[in-house]
Amino acid sequence: VLDGTGTPLRDALIEIWQADAHGLYPSPSERRGAADPNFQGWGRQATDMDTGLCTFETIKPGRVPFKDGRLMAPHINIWIVARGINLGLNTRLYFSDEETANAEDPVLARIEHKVRIPTLMAERKGGTYTFDIHLQGEQETVFFDI
């Protein structure tokens, strides 16, 4: 998580939640089938006080349906709180190597300024994905009002 000058925030709290590899949520409200019982589906962690980094070990989620039935691209929901943020910020992490699914995603299609879509893309580096959240500035991440 970076501020408007590109400085890492050392006091942010990040929460993620996502579907399992089959696109099912481990929740009593999931009606499409049983989610993987070995998958928790969420995590919460503070950024490192020395580096400002935050790391999660998880799986790549499957596609889940949008409210109109169209499939959304694999994504991870993210909630950010930190000093100076009175209400938590909501965003999503999408995977840059899911080009076809991203092109079909109904949420990404609703973003008015298409040049900002890359701010939601995690880049694969070896066996991991890297995703920077910019709170302000030219690379400001798209945040959602939910």
Interatomic CA distance for residues 53 and 1, integer angstroms: 7
- pLDDT at res. 69: 94
For all residues of the chain together, what is the average pLDDT? 95
CATH 2.60.130.10 fits 13-130, yes or no: yes
Interatomic CA distance for residues 14 and 32, integer angstroms: 28
SS3 3: coil
Three-state SS for 65-116 is ECCCCCECCCEEEEEEECCCCCCCEEEEEEECCCHHHHHHCHHHHCCCCHHH
- pLDDT at res. 47: 96
Q: What is the mean pLDDT of residues 96-107?
A: 98
Both structure tokens of 109:
């299609």
Instruction: Indicate the pLDDT class of residue 5, thresholds 50, 70 and 90.
Output: very high
Least confident of 33-37, 59-63, 77-81, 113-117: 33-37
Whether 122 has a pLDDT exceeding 90, the answer reads yes
